Amino acid sequence: MSRPEELHEWISFTDPDAEQTWMIDSTFMLSNWSCIYGSGCKGVLDDDATKLQQGCCSYGAHFIDKKDLASV
């Protein structure tokens, strides 16, 4: 199976106060996708995590392996 063409555009900016760079997938942010956080989202954990009020952020941003980390 061939790999799909990368069609995402990214925006990055540096936060001098936190001394870190943020990378945002602008293609995703401008898409028609909408989050239901706060409107019935049960989260992404194995059990209903509505009371935690974390939505899909239960795991936060993370890298899946060293190759993923190296790509940033």
pLDDT at 2 over 80: no
Q: What is the pTM of this model?
A: 0.45
Residue 3's pLDDT band (boundaries 50, 70, 90)? confident
Q: Where are the alpha helices (DSSP H) in the chain?
A: 26-29, 66-70
15-67 confidence digits (pLDDT tens) = 888 788 888 888 888 888 777 766 777 888 889 888 887 777 777 666 778 88
Nearest Cα neighbor of 58 from 36, 68, 43 is: 43
pLDDT of residue 38: 67
